[in-house]
Amino acid sequence: MNEIEGWIKEAKKVESPNFSKRPIEAEISLIVIHGISLPPGMYGSENIDKFFLNKLDPSEHDYFKEISNLKVSSHFLIERSGVLKQYVSIHKKAWHAGVSRFEDQEECNDFSIGIELEGTDSTKYEIDQYEKLIDLSNVLMQNYPLITKERIVGHSDISPKRKTDPGKLFDWNYFKSKI
């Protein structure tokens, strides 16, 4: 994998309008791993793309009525099949973490890269997803040396009262042994 001007060449580019500039003093130093499926537990649709593009139709599912007005994004999504998509340039701030804190820093979106895995807290992730996540994490760590193994965390780690993803079935030991 190669990074070119904030975009990973191998990723399918699906540009989200939901981003902003990073603060000038912010240095990319954290990866946040998330889990997502829309509707919850359903895989293989274009609903995650629609969500990040503000095109989710609230009439398609009751859950969409709750979330269709949210403006969110992530830098990356790794689908169950291992397909990698990118929504926001790494140089920009994606809106994935919300109210968050890592160590003594708040507003993790300012200094992090968000990676969504298609899945739920109660479903094991696929080996293809781990392989793509390992490759992507290694590229990001090479390009952003402040990112270390210790600075790759779950959404639940930076927003523990609000979030539980990527969930207890995410295999941190396997993942971190390969990066």
pLDDT reading at 2 higher than 90 = no
In SS3 terms, 37-88 reads as CCCCCCCCCCHHHHHHCCCCCCCCCHHHHHHCCCCCCCCEEECCCCCEEECC
What percent of the chain stands above pLDDT 90?
97
Annotated active-site residue in 3, 79, 116, 126: 116
Q: CB within 8 A of 15, min separation 6: which ones? A: 87, 88
Amino acid 84: pLDDT = 98
Establish whether 116 is a catalytic residue.
Answer: yes
This prediction has a pTM of 0.97
Other beta carbons within 10 Å of 147: 22
Question: What domains are there in the chain, each with its CATH number?
Answer: 3-36+72-177 (3.40.80.10)
Chain mean pLDDT for the chain:
96
Strand partners, 19: 94
Q: CB within 8 A of 145, min separation 6: which ones? A: none
Please answer whether residues 116 and 77 qualify as being in contact, where contact means their C-beta atoms are separated by less than 8 angstroms. yes
pLDDT reading at 138 higher than 70 = yes
Instruction: Encode pLDDT of 92-121 as tens digits.
Output: 999 999 999 999 999 999 999 999 999 999
Instruction: Encode pLDDT of 21-37 as tens digits.
Output: 999 999 999 999 999 99
Residue 154 to residue 174: CA distance in whole angstroms:
15
